[in-house]
Amino acid sequence: MHQSTWVVLLLLLFGEIAVLAVGGFVLWLAGEFGDDTPRWTRLRLRGLRKRGRAQ
């Protein structure tokens, strides 16, 4: 293979790693990792409970 092919493959590899890292960081900021219930699930359940009481 040519050297340019290796360069393109390495750029694609590092790009994929960067996208996965940014996605994992966003999920970590959202509190998706850990033993506790995810924050968005708790907020959604809280909203459903309030709506159920109002009816």
Which residue ranges in the chain fall short of pLDDT 70?
A: 35-55
**pLDDT given at position 47:** 67
Strands (E), the chain: none
- Nearest to 33, CA basis, from 48, 19, 23, 18: 23
Phi-psi sector, 36: left (phi>0), alpha (psi -120 to 50), beta:
beta
**pLDDT given at position 54:** 55
DSSP at 49: H
**pLDDT given at position 28:** 86
Separation of CA 19 from chain center = 10
All residues at 6 or more sequence positions from 40 whose CB lies less than 8 Å from its CB, including other chains: 30
DSSP at 30: T
**pLDDT given at position 29:** 87
